[in-house]
Structure 1
Amino acid sequence: MNQASGRLSSVRRDWRERDVRVLIAALVVAVATVATIALFASHLQRTLVSSASAFLAADRQLESENGQPIPQAWRDKATERGLEVARMVEFSTMVYGNDNFQLVAVKAVSEGYPLRGEIEYQASADSPREMRSAGPGHGDVWLNPRLLRLLDVTIGDSIEVGNLELTVSGLLIREPDGGFSMSALAPKIMMNAADVAATGVLQVGSRVEYVNLFAGEEAALDDFYAEVKPDFSPSHEWKSVDDGEALSGSLQRARRFLLLGGSLAVLLASVAVAVAARQYAVGQRDTVALLKTLGVRGQRIGRLYLSRLMIWGVAGTLAGVVIALPAFWGLASLTARLLERPVDYSIDWFALTPALVTALVSMMAFAYPPLQRLRSVPAMRVLRSEPGESGTGIVRDGLIALIAIFGLIWLYAGELGLVLSLLGGLAALLAVLALLGWAMVLLLRRVVGGGNAWRLALVGLYRHRKASLSQIAVFSMTLMLAATLLLIRSSLLDDWQAQLPDDAPNHFLINIAPDAVDDVEQFLAKNDLAKEAIYPMVRGRLTELNNEPVKQAVSKDREVRALNRELNLTWMNSLPADNTIVSGEWFEPGQTEGVSIESQLADRMGVKVGDVLGFTIGSQKIEQPVTSIRTVQWDSMRPNFYLAFPEGGGLTGLPATWITSFYLGEDQKLLLNDFTREFPTVSVLEVDHIIDRIREIVVQVTQAIEAILIMILAAAVVVMAAVVSATLQDRQREGALLRTLGGRQSLLVRSTMLEFALLGFFAGLLGVVAAEVAVWALQYRMFQGEFQWHFRIVATLPLISAAVLSVFGYWQLQPVLKVSPMLLLRRLE
């Protein structure tokens, strides 16, 4: 009972210690920040994946392009594993209605379609749009609204699809999986899959695509895929959300933004705990020395502080989680309100793992080492002043902290490029700090004291040069992390948003015949429709790599879906504005040899500049060396290609069609009917729904980054408060002496605020420059963007940092200003 009450009184005494409160506050902020980010990132990931899965109308799709239906046995196996299953049949045919013929793309769907998402439907042209979770029934058909005018029919009329007469029962506005597919022709109709056989349209050799849809748990989907994959033919393709270039690029970028924000939070949380723990350990050295004079051994002292650390850790972790839950709910509510969606408050408790690991590692790797070294404090420290810690211990603590930081970010982010960029920026910052410290000692040692506030401030910097350098180091790291996220918000996200302006292309024109190119351009110009560049397109397969069959040359461990289908090849003179060369050189004027390959495809295949690629186009084979590797922004909604040849190069003489994209407002949709009548063989592909979804992702990620920035700034304030208090006693003693010798309060205030303002200015300048270096590395390595200096932030952040730290300096002076100098000196002795 006495032991328990003794521990309770010890905990109460600890709580009265200012350093303990700062340490626990740092841990609370650390856990709350990381937990909130992890919970919200998990929530956002679920939202994005759920939202993106609607683009497949399922979690996975299995396509068969050989004209043969997918075996029923495979669907039975999926059902046995608890998966939901639906079917689709897609083909093109002519339909007849009211003495008019029209080529259409048919999507025939089974019961249960869609498994994910909903169909946007109108009962009539004047009815409000509604969302439906099932397709047409037997004998019914839904038409694209443009077909009403093209066929001159109304709701309730009949149209003929082959041998079958179907009733027009509604309008198909948008289906969830109407993705960016070159085979998707407009306009489209939707019918029931059970009616397809009665049409008699599909015969042996018909161009038809059979699709099976699957939805369920990830583990069951993976197990089903592993079971049926050995029976796949080359025409079978297993598709997930990540396989669509435009959408998967946005999802990948969203994940990286969240990982970056979370990694910065982890790093800053570690700094906060380390600074607070070291401060507490320094303040406990006299207490440990006194305990040793009373016969307490070092091992018992170590156990004592370890038990205290565990109590603080549990309290800080619980408090951090308690704060994180309402913060997460607030962010989830804000996101749901912005996107006009119902709020999902479900919590993924496994998402708290990073926060718990951060708390454990922070306490053991950052907080425990300086406390553990208290065992070596000599008892003679009670009688005479001795440092109580060795440089060897500090070096060891630094190595432990570096390994722990690397491990935490690696665990959280899982991307080596991210870890190296952040740690590289910190290494550069510390190197500059070492030079700055050497220069500061040389310059400030020549300054002599006096009654001037500036002189006192400079003398104070030199007198506390070790503390000043450590404060600049921590302030710089803190400001670097906050500035990195601020620059990410103001630069990378703005660049991402700028890729999809309000007038971003939302319609593609495909299969433009060479002799119709000029007429199509004239039609678009006449109707004031701004188009992107128009490109030729040749369909071909990539079959060889360095004179070896490509599927043998590429490692079996790499699954390259582009090798299982025909690719869109083109030729072009100039590099598109949203493409960037990462290796090699673009085609010179007049060059006829070579091919440029997209960077991700090159990485998956292991292709480098100088390799020779072989293509099969119809009955012809061509070979060309790789002369450049380039990045492609698939989510820019412009025509983009995996492979590009120079004009007059390897594709010369091969039959080609042309492709372009343009923006069409919602009120201009009827122009598509006029275009279709004038160019009946040109396919119109509407992709405005993809643009809407990508913009939705950008909004979600922007809100997440802004919320993370606010929390990181809060953590930065805690770190600064902890570091500023490190020299509290020394500064209070000096201030009391200055007042005892007749110094005015105003002089003391001005000199101390100037001293901290100088610290803040130098720290802000170093931090923002290091942040620019980190953003430069991240922008090139992770986000493939063009770097620009942010001069406005570089100029303003050091001034803001100086102002904030001068306020902290004034706050530190309050005990000096409010208490009698003699009373303060007696208290400090």
Structure 2
Amino acid sequence: MWAKLAFRLFLRELRRGELTVICAAIALAVMTVLTLSSVTDRIGQAILQKSNAFIAADRALASNHALPDEYRQQAQKMGLKTAQLTFFDTMLFANDRMQLAAIKAASSAYPLKGELLIKSDFDAQEQVAEGGPKEGNVWLNETVMYSLDLQVGDEVELGAATFTVSHILSEEPDAPFNIFSGSRRVLLNEADIAKTEVIQPGSRVFYRQLYAGDGDDVEAFYQWLKPQLAENQRWYGVKDRQSPIANSLERSERFLLLAGLLGIILAAVAIAVSAKRYCERQYDPVAMMKTLGGARAQIRAIYLLHLSLVCGFSLLIGLAVGYSLQHVAADYMAKSMDISLPPASLRPWLSAVFIGVVCAVMFSIKPLLDLFDIPPLRVLRRNLGDRLVVSKIHLALSALTVFGLMWLFSGKIKITLILFASSALVVVVLFVASKVIFGTGRKLGLSPGNSWSLALASIQKRANANAVQLISFALAIKLLLFLIVLKNDMINDWQSQLPADAPNAFLVNISEQEKQPVADYLAANNIEVSRFYPTIRGRVNAVNGEKVAREVSLEDNEKKDEEARSGVGRELNLTWVRDMPSHNTLTKGQWFTEQSQGEVSIEQSMAERLEIQLGDTITFLIGSQSFDAEVTSFREVNWSTLKPNFFMILSPDLLAEFPATYIAAARIDDGENKAFTQLLRQYPTITAIDVDNFVEQIRSTIEQVSLAIGFVLAIVVVCGALVLISQVQASLGERMQEVVILRTLGARGKLIRGATLYEFLLLGLIAGVVAALVSDVALFIVQRQLFELPGKFHPDIWFIGPVAGALFVALLGYTMIARTLNKNTSGLLRKLM
């Protein structure tokens, strides 16, 4: 019987529109989580897949020693595509010239991701290669071609074998972005390695296996591989590389994660408000049931089943709308980004259902319990039950529920704590502020018949309800301000790293005698060039006289000295300059002066890694010569900029006597390629590294990430607006009663409209002030802790927040109340009955 009553109640209220608010709130939660999770999941997968071209695969395994072929065989059994790469340096001979070159021997499947671009002649158009060079052929990049004075079709000696230069190697998807190495590139067929007889015991060779396939298959292979990995083997993906694209991907993922978390907070607020309002509207029916003899247990069963039906119906609506919305969003993003988005995983669906059910139950349970406590006398005294005490336990459980859902959704405790704490701060500040403001308002003594007086009286009359509204408005405004400002700061930071005039080529291995002629030639041809940095290879040998650990080979049975101080493990590129590079920031200490002698400036992260303090003495080893330098400053280096950067910069007196070469960054615009090529022909010992295509790839990825972030932000803005709508809807019934009373007392429509507008204007203004201040504090923390951005305050949002909040809430609130104000008194009375 009770089940039938619950079902009939559900159908009746569904037809009458009584379930609109609560169903919309639960559906909003489900839709928000599903849409945001699906869109961010699909966009993240697509961007990552496209970015995987930077390593020519989905994942790679690198080692200084030969990798077992068993790995490739197992990967192929598990449905993955594989490729093998072998790297070594050797001399090339042709036309009575010789040149040291970096050889990459690749299997026929290379590359698994991205494209190899080649040219049939210096002036020919680039074309996409179908596989690597055939046996007996090699591809050389232009630098090697110039150095050996070669043309396509000529022969070159590589070790014990002779090969035909069949194409010019123009671009490799995984070419190392390192201005100190990897410039003289040669691509060889893997089957030809043995012919060269170059690799002998003790040769310095590097190996890499590439893997590509479905994400689950790659992860399954890694779980098989993980127990067998040696310490000198490294498994990595594109996000593991220290590069601009890796940093951009990490930041975008964090932002998209933030958007999802804020969507959960907004949905939780909407459900809490609408659940309370819906249960309040059921007070009279419950009182009537009890008057007619309905038992508490029976009423409880009816409404619990009723809530289950409401929850189930809302879940279906939310999932349907969310799926449609994310599908539309994905299609739009795919066209805008010119990529195909992979289907979303099952996780967004499971998250949406779980979060929707948890929110519906946790934020409805207290209003439901209050509903069961409504006394039968309410049928005679309509005010009974209107002021049920708010349970502190329920508030605590609700807060813990939101925190738990945020943590579950993100898996990141730090980001969850920051957002939750900042939102809690908004609640506390506004709760106290509302008590003060609404309390002091009674003492203002404004004249009757004034819209402002009526607005303040309305605010005072609904002090508790308005406090809740104020908190809801402020949370929505705070979260929206937070995302909008963070998005702009991220994009501005990316764009500042890659301005339109960013360097797109590097000149390396410039001798002292060539430096001035090269500078003059570039200036004469209007080619922009940075300062020339002297460079020399050196090793950190000791800190304060304590030897540092060196790099070891486990396969050669070398043992690491566990007692030695942590070191770099490799040679560093050292430079010496009097003036600090413009793209470096001094974080501690003092930069070199004219009187500086024997000083060194260290990059901040390197100093932390080596546990170095200001005043420490570092011993450097260059060849067989060693010298000491005192640490006098730490620097913050932006590694994402396409400019020469150094871990260690020494005062000029230390390295002035050492032979060095110079490097410089140049900007080669259209029309300057011919002059630049002539420079390389004139100075064949200079190495040129073309990074123009790399820059374009980074810009393209950043634009795609920015577009994705903008779309997700739009979804969150819509969610915020829906939260405000649900909050205003919750007070519609009470506002209709006020309009009837005021009209009965002779109040004019202009007075009522003005009072309504001013009331929402004040609520939005107060909410905007608090939201702006708390948002800025939270932004400062998040930027420094999560996004590695320079933390800064944003005074502009202290003005924008209150103004936008006041206008947005006033416009939205007034628009929703306008229909009520336009109805005549008899119509309002009939609707209230």
Does the pair score TM above 0.5?
yes
Query: Is 1:741 aligned with 2:738?
Result: no
Q: What CA distance in whole angstroms lies between the structure 2 residues aligned with 1:508 and 1:562?
A: 29
Distance 1:700 1:188, change over 3 A: same
Query: In 2, distance between residues paired with 1:793 and 1:336?
Result: 33
| Contact map agreement 1:257 1:701 (CA 8 A) in 2 | no
Q: What's the CA shift for 1:713?
A: 1.7
Between the aligned partners of 1:571 and 1:312, the Cα distance in structure 2 is 71
The answer to whether the Cα contact below 8 Å between 2:159 and 2:197 also exists between their aligned partners in 1 is yes
Q: Secondary structure at the match of 2:338?
A: coil
Q: Aligned in 2, Cα 1:622/1:472: closer, same or farther, shift over 3 Å?
A: farther
- 1:439 partnered with 2:437: yes
Instruction: Say if 2:762 is the partner of 1:758.
Output: yes
Amino acid aligned to 2:408: L
Structure 1 CA distance for aligned equivalents of residues 366 and 614 of structure 2: 50
Aligned match of 1:190: 187
Q: 2:773 corresponds to which residue?
A: 769
Deviations 1:557-602 (Å, cap 9, x if unpaired)?
9xx99945434344555554544566x4354645667765555556
CA contact (8 A) 2:2 2:302 kept: no
Q: How does 1:568-579 map to 2 (within 5 A)?
A: 568-571=573-576, 576-579=581-584
Q: Distance in 1 between matches of 2:300 and 2:636?
A: 56
Deviations for 1:665-724, whole angstroms, at most 9, x for unmatched residues?
354334443333444443322223332232222122211221112211211221111111
How far 1:138 sits from its partner (Å)?
0.9
Give the aligned partner of residue 57 of structure 2. 58
Which deviates more from structure 2 when the two are superposed, residues 715-724 or residues 629-638?
Answer: 629-638
In the other structure, the counterpart of 2:677 is: 673
Greater shift in the superposed pair: 54-63 or 404-413: 54-63
**What are the superposed Cα offsets for residues 278-323 of structure 1, whole Å, 9 maximum, x if unpaired?**
2212222333333333444444444433322322222222222222
CA contact (8 A) 2:179 2:644 kept: no
Aligned AA (1:121): I
2:111 aligned with 1:107: no
| Cα distance change, pair 670–280 in 1 and its aligned pair in 2 (3 A) | same
SS in structure 2 at match of 1:55 = helix
Equivalent residue in structure 1 for 2:424, among 418, 422, 427: 427
2:146–2:680: 8 Å Cα contact kept in structure 1?
no
Change (3 A) 1:105 1:283: same
Contact 1:105 1:189 in 2 (8 A): yes
Q: Contact 1:185 / 1:683 at 8 angstroms: preserved in 2?
A: no
Q: Give the structure-2-normalised TM-score.
A: 0.87
Q: Match of 1:413?
A: 410
Give the corresponding residue for 1:638: 643
The 5 Å alignment of 1:247-262 reads 247-262=245-260
CA–CA separation in structure 2 for the residues paired with 1:415 and 1:389: 39
Equivalence map 1:676-755=2 (5 Å): 676-755=680-759
Preserved contact between residue 39 and residue 351 of structure 1 (Cα < 8 Å): yes
CA distance in 2, matches of 1:508, 1:225: 39
Change in 2 beyond 3 A, CA 1:662/1:289 = farther
Amino acid at match of 2:49: S
Q: For the residues of structure 1 that align with 2:602 and 2:225, how far apart are their CA atoms?
A: 30
**Residues in 2 aligned to 1:419 and 1:694: alpha-carbon distance in whole angstroms:** 30
Contact 1:306/1:368 (8 A) holds in 2: no
1:170-319 correspondence runs (5 A):
170-181=167-178, 184-202=181-199, 207-216=204-213, 217-223=217-223, 225-230=225-230, 232-233=231-232, 237-246=234-243, 247-319=245-317
- Secondary structure at the aligned position of 1:170 is classed as strand
- CA contact under 8 A between 1:592 and 1:646: conserved in structure 2? no
1:47 lines up with 2:46 in the alignment? yes
2:30–2:315 contact (8 Å) kept in structure 1: yes
Letter in 2 for 1:758: L
Cross-structure match for 1:21:
20
| Match 1:88 to one of 72, 85, 88 | 85
Instruction: Specify whether residues 75 and 730 from structure 1 end up closer, same or farther in structure 2 by C-alpha distance, changes over 3 A only.
Output: closer
Q: 1:780 to 1:322 in 2, by over 3 A?
A: same
In the TM superposition, residue 52 of structure 1 has moved relative to its aligned partner by 2.6
Asked if the contact 1:113/1:133 (under 8 Å) is kept, the reply is no
Is the counterpart of residue 137 in structure 1 residue 142 in structure 2? no
Mapped partners of 1:593, 1:433: distance in 2: 58
Shift of 1:270: 1.4
* Partner SS for 2:731: helix
Contact 2:143–2:687 (CA under 8 A) maintained in structure 1: no
C-alpha spacing 1:826/1:255, structure 2 compared with 1 (3 Å): closer
Structure 2: distance between partners of 1:534 and 1:305: 78
CA contact (8 A) 1:272 1:715 kept: no
Q: Distance in 2 between matches of 1:358 and 1:581?
A: 46
Q: CA RMSD in A?
A: 3.7
For residue 689 of structure 2, give the secondary structure of its aligned residue in structure 1: strand
Hey, what does 2:336 align to over in structure 1?
338
Question: Matches of 1:382 and 1:592 in 2, distance apart?
Answer: 92
| Cα displacement string for residues 487-508 of structure 1 (whole angstroms, at most 9, x for unaligned residues) | 1222222222222112212223
In the other structure, the counterpart of 1:566 is: 571
Question: What is the DSSP-based 3-state SS (H/G/I as helix, E as strand, rest coil) of the residue aligned with 2:168?
Answer: strand
**Which one-letter code corresponds to 1:697 in the other structure?**
T
Q: Look up the match of 2:556.
A: none
Q: CA deviation at 1:26?
A: 2.0
CA separation of 1:100 and 1:622: change in aligned 2, threshold 3 A: closer
How far did 1:109 drift?
A: 1.5
Cα distance in structure 2, aligned partners of 1:815 and 1:673: 73
Asked if 1:357 is matched to 2:354, the reply is yes
On the 8 A contact 2:480/2:720 being kept in 1, the answer is yes
Alpha-carbon separation, structure 1, partners of 2:276 and 2:467: 15
The 10-residue stretch of structure 1 (158-167 or 718-727) with the greater mean CA deviation from structure 2: 158-167
Give the secondary structure class of the aligned counterpart of 1:212. strand
Matched-pair contact (CA < 8 Å) for 1:732–1:815 = no
Q: Which amino acid aligns with 2:20?
A: R
Match of 1:356, as an amino acid? Answer: V
2:540/2:621 contact within 8 Å kept = yes
- Structure 1 residues 126 and 658, CA, compared in 2 at 3 Å: closer, same or farther? closer
Contact 2:33/2:348 (<8 A) preserved: no
Say which SS state the counterpart of residue 635 (structure 1) adopts. Answer: coil
Secondary structure at the aligned position of 1:636 is classed as coil
Aligned residues of 1:117 and 1:133 also touching (Cα < 8 A): no
Q: Which 10-residue stretch deviates more, 110-119 or 589-598?
A: 589-598
Match of 2:589 among 582, 585, 594: 585
Q: Which digits, 9 at most, give the CA deviation of each residue in 1:136-161, with x for residues without a partner?
A: 11122223356666655544444443
The verdict on how the C-alpha distance between 1:602 and 1:249 changes in structure 2, with shifts beyond 3 A counting, is: farther
The residue matched to 1:335 in structure 2 has which SS?
helix
Structure 1 pair 823–83 and aligned structure 2 pair: CA distance change class (3 A) = closer
TM-score (norm 1): 0.88
Residue 262 of structure 1 deviates from its aligned partner by 1.6
Q: CA deviation at 1:608?
A: 7.2
* Contact in 2 for aligned 1:492/1:779 (Cα 8 Å): no
Identity of aligned residues (%): 32
In structure 1, list runs of 5 or more residues that go unmatched.
none
CA distance in 1, matches of 2:437, 2:143: 74
Which of the residues 797, 821, 828 maps onto 2:825? 821
Aligned residue identity for 1:20: L
Counterpart of 1:465 in structure 2 is 463
Choose 792-801 or 109-118, whichever is displaced more: 792-801
Letter in 1 for 2:740: A
Aligned positions, number? 815
Contact 1:572 1:644 (C-alpha < 8 Å) held by counterparts: no
